Amino acid sequence: MQKWLDSIRRCRYYWGSSLLAPVINLIFAELLLFVIGYLWFVQRTKIPLLSLVLTLIIMVLLTAAILLQQRKSFQKRKAEARRKVGRDFLADKLKQLDPEEFKWQVTRLLLKLEGISDIREQGHFLETTLHGRKTAIGIYHTDFDEEVPHARLTDFLNQARLEGYLQALFITSGSFSDASKAAAEKRNAARVQLLSLEELLNRMELTGMFPDDKTIDALIDKEIKSRKQRLALLKKEILMPRRIRTYLGYALLLFVLSRLFKSYSLYYVLMAVIFLLLAALTWLVWLKGRRDPDRRESLLDPPAADSRQGS
C-alpha cells in the first residue's frame, strides 16, 4: 500500500500539478462529446440505438488517442524530472568536494571516456594520451556560480603550448566567461576544449556515473516531503493568531474604499469579505488549539495538584 501511495506522489511530482485536474477535464470533455455526438447522430439517422453505438465508438477512439498523447507527455515529463534530480544530486556532490577530491572525480570520469588509456601528473596539470595524441588537462574547482579566472586559463594554455602539447582540456566545476572562450578559440597551434559544469554533468551521465533509479526515487521522495513541510509552514504562518488584526484592518480598509470608489465597490467588497473569512478561520483555528486536550504542557507550567499527590 505504501509503495502504491509513493508511486502516486511521484506521478504528481512528475506531472507538476495535481492528477485530479486532467481527469476532471477529461470527464467533462467526454460528457460534452457524448451529448453533441449523440444528438448529431440521432438527427442524422433517426435511430437512437445506432446513434448511441456510433457515439460510444467515437468516444472510445478519441479517448484512446487522448490517453496515448497524455501518456507520451507524461513519460517525457517523467524523464526530464528524473534527469534534473540526478543532475542536481551530482552537482551537489561536486560542490561538497575539495580541490583534490574534485580532481580525483574528474580523473575517474576521464578514464571512462573512449580513447584515454592513462593519466599522469605533470606538475601544474595532468597529462594523458587522447586518441593517440599527447593532451594536457587543466582542472579548476570553484563555486558553481563563479567563472574561471581568465588569467588562470591563459596561464594553463601558455604552459601547455610551451611544453609542446597539441591539444588540451580544461575542466571546471564553474563556468567560463566569453573572454575565456575567445582565448581558447584563438589557440591555433593546439586544439582546446573547455568543459564547464554542464558539460561535466553531461559526460558523467553518458559514462554511467549517474545515480541509479533507487537513489533518484529516494531523492524525489525527499523533495516531496520537503515541499509538504514548506506548505505546512506557509499555512501555519497564514493562520497565525497575530494576523487576525491585520486581516480585520485590511477588511475595514477595503470596505472604506468600496464606499469611496463606487465603480470598484463590488471588487473591494469581495476582497474585504475574503479577509474577514481569513480572520474568522484564523480565530477558529486558534480557538481549537486552545481547547485541544492533547496539546503539550509547557515545562515551565507547574504540575497539576493530582499529579503531585500521585508522585
Give a yes or no: residue 219 inside a domain: no
Of 77, 92, 107, which closes a domain? 92
Shared domain check, 252 and 199: no
pLDDT tens digits along 230-279: 667 667 777 777 788 888 888 888 888 888 887 778 878 888 888 888 88
Answer yes or no: is pLDDT of 203 > 60.
Answer: yes
Query: What does the pLDDT read at residue 1?
Result: 64
**In terms of domains, do 275 and 188 share one?**
no
pLDDT at residue 311 greater than cutoff 50 = no
Judge whether 57 lies within some domain.
Answer: yes
Please write the tens of the pLDDT for every residue from 257-268: 888 887 778 878
Averaged pLDDT, 81-98: 90
213 located within any domain: no
Last residue of a domain, one of 46, 63, 92: 92
**The total number of structural domains that make up the chain:** 3
112 and 79 both lie in a single domain? no
Q: What domain range includes position 64?
A: 2-92
pLDDT at 300 over 70: no
Q: What pLDDT was estimated at residue 299? A: 47
Q: Are 115 and 182 in the same domain? A: yes
Give the three cell numbers for residue 48: 437512437
State whether 84 and 141 are in the same domain. Answer: no
| Whether residue 83 is found in the same domain as residue 157 | no
CA trace torsion 202, 207, 211, 212 (10° rounding): 130
* Residue 17, pLDDT score: 66
pTM for the model stands at 0.63
- Same domain flag for 156 and 246: no
Segment 285-306 mean pLDDT: 58
57 lies in the same domain as 106: no
Any domain includes 231: no
What confidence tens digit (pLDDT) does each residue in 41-84 have? 888 888 889 988 999 999 899 889 988 988 898 899 889 989 99
CATH of the domain at 124: 3.40.1350.10
Same domain, 107 and 154: yes
Q: Is residue 218 part of a domain?
A: no
pLDDT of res. 308: 46
254 shares a domain with 197: no
HEC states along the chain?
CHHHHHHHHHHHHHHCCCCHHHHHHHHHHHHHHHHHHHHHHHHHHCCHHHHHHHHHHHHHHHHHHHHHHHHHHHHHHHHHHHHHHHHHHHHHHHHCCCHHHHHHHHHHHHHHCCCEEEEEEECCEEEEEECCEEEEEEEECCCCCCECCHHHHHHHHHHHHHCCCCEEEEEECCECCHHHHHHHHCCCCCEEEEECHHHHHHHHHHCCCCCCHHHHHHHHHHHHHHHHHHHHHHHHHHCCHHHHHHHHHHHHHHHHHHHHCHHHHHHHHHHHHHHHHHHHHHHHHHHHHHHCCCCCCCCCCCCCHHHHHHC
Same domain, 84 and 105: no
